Amino acid sequence: MRMYDIIKKKRDGFELTKAEIEFFAFGAADGNIPDYQLSAMLMAIYFKGLTKQETADLTVAMAASGDMVDLSALGTVTADKHSTGGVGDKTTLIVAPIVAACGIKVAKMSGRGLGHTGGTVDKLESIPGYKTTLSKDEFFAAAASSGMSVIGQSGNLAPADKKLYAIRDVTATVESIPLIASSIMSKKIAAGAECIVLDVKVGSGAFMKTKEQAEMLAREMIDIGTAAGRKTAAVISNMDIPLGKNVGNSLEVIEAVETLHGNGPADLKELCVELAANMLTLASKGSLDNCRGLALQALESGAAFETLKACVAAHGGNTDYIDNPELFDSAKYTLEIKADCDGYITAMDSERIGNAACMLGAGRKTKEDSIDPAAGLEILAKTGSKVCKGDILAKLYTNDEKLFDAAANEYKAAITLSDTPVEVMPIILGSMR
C-alpha cells in the first residue's frame, strides 16, 4: 500500500477501505508517513469529508494506535464526560463527584488549557499537593477508594491523534466535523469508560458557532461511540456567555466547591445536574428525570462534596483547601472593570473573556508557558443584566500588575451594552442520543 494512492483516492472523492484508513493512522503514529503526506491527506479529508464508516474506522484506528485503558478492574459501570471546550467550564469538578457519589465510578483523563479555553488538569493542580500524574495502580486505587480519579492524559493515549492534531493546527484543517469528532472520540474510547456524555458547546466561546454545527458534531460523535460499543449521549450547551462567574484556575476550584455546597451560580448548577443525570441514565440508574433527582440529592446532601474531598486526598492534595477555600493564595493585584454608561448587557464575547483571563496569567499561549494559579477574573454582570454607569462588571486578578492594561481592554471589548434588553438564551439548548 502507498500513501500516495490513498491521498489520490480521497482527493478524487472515493471512500477509503478500513485497511487504507489504518495504514494512514498507524503510519501517522509510528512516524512512517512524512508530514507532507499527512498534511495533504488531511486537506483532502477537509475538502471531501469522510463517510460515517470512514470516520468510525479512523476513530478506532487512532484509539488503537496507543494505550487502550481497561477500566473493568474497577468492577462497576464507568462513566466519562467530555466538553468540547469553553470559558469558565469547571463542570468536571462538580459532575464527576456527583456521579461518583451515586455509585458510578469516574476514572478519567483530562486536558490542560490551551488558547482561550481552560483545562481541568490545570485547575486541579492549583490545589496544593494534588498529583495529576499517577501510576496505573495509583489511578485505580484512587478511583476505587473515592469513586473518582482525574489525571492528565497519558503520553501514549491515541498517539495518531496527537500527531494529526499537531499537523491540523498548522495546516488550517482543524475545522472539519469528521476530523474533530474522530479526534475527540479516539481519546474517549482509548480512555476506557463504558458510558460517555459529550458537552457540545455552541456560541462565541466555542468551536461550533451555530446550534446546527453543534448538532452535526454531536451526531457524528454519538454514532462513533455507539459503533464502538460505548453508550454515548450529548448535551448541547450555551457558550455565548461564560459558564458561572469565575474564570481562572484556583478561582474555578473555589466556585466548584461553592456549587457543591449549594451556593453556585444557577447556570453552572443546571448544566452540571444535566450532565450528571445523562451519565447516570446511561449507566442504567433510571430515567433521565429520575437521575436528575439522584444528582440533585448527591449535591444537596453534601455527598458529592465529600466525594471531591476524598478524591483530592487520594491524589495527595491538601483537603484543607477544599474545606476552607479562602486558604488559596489570592492574586496580589485586583482591578475593577466598571460600566462607562447605563444600559443592558446584550452580548458577551466569551472567547475574548477567555483571552482576557489568559492575558492575566491564567492560561498559556504555547504548551511550554507556565500559568499563575491565582490569576483570572470574576464576572459580576452577565448578558441580560441592567447596569448603571460605574457599576462593577468584573474583577480582574493577577500577580503581575503590568498585565492589567491589555486584559482590561480585552474584557471591555468583549461586552456589548445597549439601551434595550435582550432575551437570554438558556444554558441547555438540547440533548441527543
How far is residue 168's CA from residue 409's CA, in Å, rounded to a whole number?
Answer: 31
Q: Catalytic residue among 161, 240, 349, 372, which?
A: 161
Question: Cell numbers at residue 7, please?
Answer: 491521498
Separation CA 303–CA 261 (nearest Å): 10
If the CB atoms of residues 44 and 291 are measured against ligand URA, the closer one turns out to be 44
Work out how close the CB of 161 gets to ligand URA at its nearest, in angstroms, rounded to a whole number: 7
Name the catalytic one among 112, 162, 187, 188. 187
Specify burial of residue 428 (Cβ count, 10 A radius: 0-12, 13-18, 19+).
middle
Q: Which is nearer to ligand URA, 210 or 290 (CB)?
A: 210
Q: Could you confirm whether 168 is annotated as catalytic? A: yes
Is residue 187 annotated as part of the catalytic site, yes or no? yes
> One of 39, 80, 81, 82 is an active-site residue; which one?
82
Footprint of ligand URA (CB under 6 A)? 165, 174, 179-180, 183-184
In the complex with ligand URA, the residue whose CB is nearer, 132 or 346, is 132
User: Of 180 and 358, which has the nearer Cβ to ligand URA?
Assistant: 180
CB atoms within 10 A of CB 135: 9
* Pick 167 or 424: Cβ nearer ligand URA: 167
- Three-state DSSP state, 76: coil
List, in sequence order, every residue forming a beta bridge with 348; answer none if it has no partner: 415
Backbone angles phi, psi at 12, to 5 degrees: -90, 5
Going by C-alpha positions, the residue among 228, 243, 168 that lies closest to residue 192 is: 228
Catalytic residue among 110, 146, 182, 183: 183
Rounded to an integer, what distance in angstroms lies between the CA atom of residue 400 and that of residue 332?
8
Is 315 among the residues known to form the active site?
A: no
Joined together, the cell numbers standing for residue 428 give: 441547555
Could you tell me the smallest distance in angstroms from the CB atom of residue 207 to ligand URA?
6
Question: Minimum Å distance from CB 203 to ligand URA?
Answer: 16
Shortest distance, CB of residue 382 to ligand URA, whole angstroms? 25
218 Cβ contact partners less than 8 Å away, ≥ 6 residues apart: 198, 200, 234, 236, 432
Confirm whether 433 is a catalytic residue.
no
Residue 408 C-beta: closest distance to ligand URA, Å: 29
Closest CB to ligand URA: residue number: 183
Give the dihedral of Cα atoms 143, 147, 151, 154; nearest 10 deg. 50
Minimum CB distance to ligand URA smaller for 200 or for 375: 200
**Rounded Cα distance, 317 and 312, in Å:** 5
Closest distance of CB 182 from ligand URA, Å: 8
Q: From the candidates 81, 168, 245, 382, which is the catalytic residue?
A: 168
Active site residues: 82, 161, 168, 183, 187
